[in-house]
Amino acid sequence: MVQVHEEQPKRKKVAILGFTDSWKLAPFNDPSFEIWGLNELYLFISQIQGGRYDRWFELHMQDGLLSDKKRSNAPPDAHIENLKKLTCPIYMQQHWEDIPNSVTYPMAQICEAFPNPAPGWKPYLTNSISYMLAMSIMEGFEEIHVYGVDMSHDTEYSGQRPSCEYFLGVAVGKGIKVYIPPTADLLKTVFFYGYEQLQEEGFDAKLKARVAELQGKANALQNELNEKNNALQQHLGALQDCQHMVKNWRPLPSK
């Protein structure tokens, strides 16, 4: 399971990987790319032919790793044990003696390089992908690809998405070539605000009608399911009554 890391000269391209399906599109077979992963993604990369990674990121507090990692069915301490075995640099909040290849993430330099333009506020770093993007920009990569990062669901990740898009904008502003796969949701929009209002309103109306149609069918199926379940419970109750009668009220065998 452990990926062997071979030292190579610094490359000009980096692919940053998250957990959604588009991570599989990463250029694993292109030696001009560094491959950066995070958290427990090594469990999945190791399952594909040619899967590799050059640097790793685990930026959560070490004390929380045992309880926070829920992406696999492995024992709760397996993640730390796996980190101990990785042979590539592992960027963490600090170097840990029990994780030999752990490297202190350059937080001070990142904060200096990317100050928040809003006075008094910390740099706009709200998730691990943003830390990885910031570091890749600071290190001077000329091309950044991002795979497996959507942050589109109605969860904590949707609130973290603006930070990723902010640093992607910083990268573009610095002349860095950025690539987002078509299947990912980052930096995607369908209409120009204002200029295509009629098209947007028509699209929204169509989507809302479709949602209403699907919700109506879902409600009908749920009602049908409830009715079937009620009928099942009645039949199970009648069956239990009959079984009770067979057991307790049948005639005794003749002597």
Instruction: Write down the pLDDT at residue 128.
Output: 94
**Cα of 154 vs its chain's centroid, Å:** 13
Which amino acid, 65? Answer: L
Residue with tokens 């030999």: 100
pTM of the model: 0.76
Indicate if the pLDDT at residue 228 is higher than 70: yes
pLDDT in tens, 40-89: 999 999 999 899 999 999 998 876 565 444 555 556 678 889 999 999 99
Indicate if the pLDDT at residue 158 is higher than 80: no
Instruction: Write down the pLDDT at residue 229.
Output: 93
Q: Give bridge partners of residue 36 from the DSSP assignment.
A: 16, 55
